[in-house]
Structure formats: C-alpha cells, structure tokens
C-alpha cells in the first residue's frame, strides 16, 4: 500500500470515527443536525433549524471529547514511533519504558497535595516533570559511553515503571482517608475522556501540535539513527543532543496527554509498529501516519466502548491495556524467536 493511499484513507477513517463519536450518546441528534451545527459553528449559514439544546450537547460535551481523544492518541503514537526509531527496538514505547507511569506519578502527587486547584497548568507541569525524570533515569541506566543497550533499556523501563506504580499506589493508600481525593486519583489513573471540557482542549491542543511539528523536523535524524549511532554520527548528526531534544519533546507530549486523559497505555506501542509494517521505516511518512493512526485508534476505542457498554463505567485506559498487552506479548515472542532478545 502506497503512502499516498494511506494518507487518503486515514483522514477519512478519522472523520468517520469522529462523526460516530459525535452521534453517540443518550441524547439522539440526527446526522443532518450534527453536520449543520458543526458547519454553523464554523460560521457557515446552512439554513437549518438548530435547537439550542442540541448545539449545547454537541459543542460543549461531545466535541471536546473527540478533539482531546484525537490529540492524545496522536501524541502517544508519535512518541512511540520516535522511541522505536531512536532506540531501534519495536518494543520501545512510552508505557513500556515507564514514561507513562512517570507522568501518572507526577500527576498523582499534584492531586494528592491539592495543587490542581491553584492553576490549570499544575497537573500537566507535574506530569511532564514525572515523565521527563523517568525517561532520563531509564536512559542513563541503559547508556554507557554513548552506547545504549536495548535489553538494559527495556529492563530499566520495566523496573522504573514498577517503582512509579508502587509510589502511586502508596500515595493512593495514604489518600483513602480523604474520600474525594482518593476517588479522584483512582478515577483519573484509569484513564478516560469523560467530563472533558474546552479548558482541557486549550491545554492539550497547543502542546500536541507543537510537539508533533517539532518531531517531524527530526525525521532525517531518526532515519539515520536506525542505521546505528556510528552511522548517524558519520553523516553529521550530533547523536547525544538529538536524543536529548527528542526525549524532552516526547516527555512533553506524554506528560500533557496523561495529564488530560489519565492512564492511557499501549497506543504508542501498537500503532507505530503496525504502520511501520505497512509503510516501512522512513519517518517522513511514519510520523504523520502514526499521528493519524493514534488519533483513529483512541477515538475508535472510545466509540466502541460507548456503543457496546453504554451503561457501564468502563475506563478507556483499561480497554487500551487489554488490547495492547497481548500485542506486546506477541512482539516479545517474535523478538525472542528471531534471537533479538
């Protein structure tokens, strides 16, 4: 399948998934009215009779949920593609390397300390710090004399990730005396898009767009890193500085996604790997395709959850982990069969 065909199909799939999300809910809003309200919000006069309650539900409840899901999915998938290319390992992802759990720990600390009421930026700042510190520790453990050992990288990620989860569980145990705080931590840590507003949209969209745009500037560098650190250095790439920049960008993307959506795992593992099999390793195509694929994946997962279990409060993060964990085991067995682990 050619990249041109992929970039025609994927936006269509994203639009269909987003439209399905907008149509799904207790209040039934027909397709014609939904499209009319969307066009009217863009300043286009459709001549349709728009009811205020329909417009309020669609624009204030459902549309922010779709936008946030698309941005979070795109950010996590792009981070996965970057890490897999930077470390030359299809098993690398924000969740496997402990970055997601680090962001979650930072956010849990902010919630436990009651700092989230001070500013809307407190939660993403703590999540970004947690993701960045975790990624730096894992990278430093696995890197010796400029060389990063892949096996050590994965093991360090699992170990630090487990430590982050243990610390977050400890904070949760300490917060159970305060029912509201404990409930907030539990509900948030499971991940989901419920109750998201335009304040959350304004928080995630600038970082998602900026981070994805910056990552695209490193497409050539990531292609060179796939050939090895020596080859990348031989073509004039400052490998340590490039990795530092990419680590900061991925920490920012993961941090803001986790801060807004909670614990959403395995999107960064599954989506880039599948698209790499279809498009090949060139990051010029892989990175934008991963952004589209991650957005489609998360929006579709939320849509399926709402369609199949509309009355059950099943967290979205549980669904992505349930689907992603078996895929990770498959990749692990495949790598072991090839003798790469």
pLDDT of 48 reads: 63
Predicted local distance difference test score (pLDDT) of residue 47: 64
pLDDT, position 72: 94
Q: How far apart are CA 246 and CA 56, in angstroms?
A: 40
Question: Which token pair is 63?
Answer: 């549309």
Tell me which H or E stretch contains 279. Answer: helix 267-279
Instruction: Tell me how far CA of residue 24 lies from CA of 102, 128, 230, 260, 306, in angstroms.
Output: 33, 32, 52, 22, 7
Number of H helices and E strands in the chain, helices first, is 15, 2
Q: How many residues does the chain have?
A: 341
Cα first-last separation, the chain: 30
**Predicted pLDDT of residue 46:** 65
Give the integer Cα–Cα distance in Å for 269 and 76. Answer: 9
Joined tokens for residue 157: 């990620």
Return the pLDDT at 186: 80
Instruction: Give which of 245, 145, 130, 258 is closest to 203, Cα–Cα.
Output: 258
> Which among 87, 71, 140, 136 has a CA at the least distance from the CA of 291?
71
The per-residue pLDDT for 294 is 94
Tell me what pLDDT residue 278 has.
87
What's the pLDDT score for residue 338? Answer: 66
Q: Is 329 helix (H, G, I), strand (E, B) or coil?
A: helix
Q: Are 153 and 142 in contact (CB under 8 A)?
A: yes
Mean pLDDT, 10 residues at a time, over the chain (341 residues)? Answer: 87 94 85 84 71 86 93 94 85 79 89 84 85 86 75 84 91 82 79 84 92 94 87 85 86 86 84 88 93 94 83 76 76 68 53
Give the pLDDT confidence score for residue 340 in this predicted structure: 55
Distance CA 159, CA 141 (A): 11
pLDDT at 250: 87
**Is the distance from CB of 102 to CB of 135 less than 8 angstroms?**
yes
Distance CA(116)–CA(67), nearest Å, equals 22
Please count the other Cβ atoms lying within 10 Å of the Cβ belonging to residue 26. Answer: 7
In angstroms, the Cα distances linking 12 to 15, 40, 132, 195, 251 are 5, 21, 34, 27, 30
**List of residues 6+ apart from 309 with CB closer than 8 A:** none
- Provide the 8-state DSSP code for 248: H
CB-based burial of residue 24 (10 Å sphere; 0-12 exposed, 13-18 middle, 19+ buried)? middle
């Amino acid at each position: 399948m050619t990249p041109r065909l992929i970039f025609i199909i994927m936006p269509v799939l994203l639009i269909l998934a987003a439209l399905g999300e907008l149509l799904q809910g207790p209040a039934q809003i027909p397709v014609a009215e939904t499209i009319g309200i969307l066009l009217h919000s863009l300043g286009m006069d459709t001549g349709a009779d728009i009811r205020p309650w329909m417009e309020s539900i669609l624009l204030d409840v459902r549309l922010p949920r779709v936008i946030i899901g698309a941005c979070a999915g795109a950010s996590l998938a792009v981070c996965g593609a970057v890490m897999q290319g930077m470390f030359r390992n299809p098993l690398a992802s924000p969740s496997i390397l402990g970055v997601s759990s680090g962001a979650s720990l930072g956010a849990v600390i902010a919630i436990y300390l009651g700092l989230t009421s001070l500013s809307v930026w407190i939660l993403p700042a703590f999540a970004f710090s947690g993701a960045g510190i975790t990624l730096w520790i894992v990278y430093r453990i696995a890197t010796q004399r400029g060389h990063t050992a892949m096996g050590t990288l994965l093991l360090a990620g699992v170990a630090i990730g487990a430590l982050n989860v243990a610390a977050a569980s400890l904070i949760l145990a300490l917060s159970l005396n305060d029912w509201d705080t404990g409930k907030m931590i539990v509900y948030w840590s499971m991940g989901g898009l419920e109750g998201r507003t335009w304040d959350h949209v304004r928080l995630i969209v600038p970082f998602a767009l900026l981070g994805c745009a910056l990552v695209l500037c490193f497409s050539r560098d990531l292609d060179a890193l796939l050939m090895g650190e020596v080859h990348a250095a031989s073509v004039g790439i400052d490998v340590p500085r490039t990795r530092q920049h990419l680590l900061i960008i991925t920490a920012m993307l993961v941090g803001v996604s986790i801060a807004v959506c909670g614990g959403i795992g395995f999107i960064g593992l599954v989506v880039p790997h599948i698209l790499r099999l279809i498009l090949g390793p060139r990051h010029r195509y892989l990175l934008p395709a991963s952004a589209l694929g991650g957005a489609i994946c998360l929006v579709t997962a939320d849509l399926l959850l709402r369609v199949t279990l509309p009355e059950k409060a099943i967290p979205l993060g549980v669904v992505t982990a349930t689907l992603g964990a078996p895929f990770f085991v498959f990749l692990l067995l495949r790598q072991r069969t090839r003798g790469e682990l």
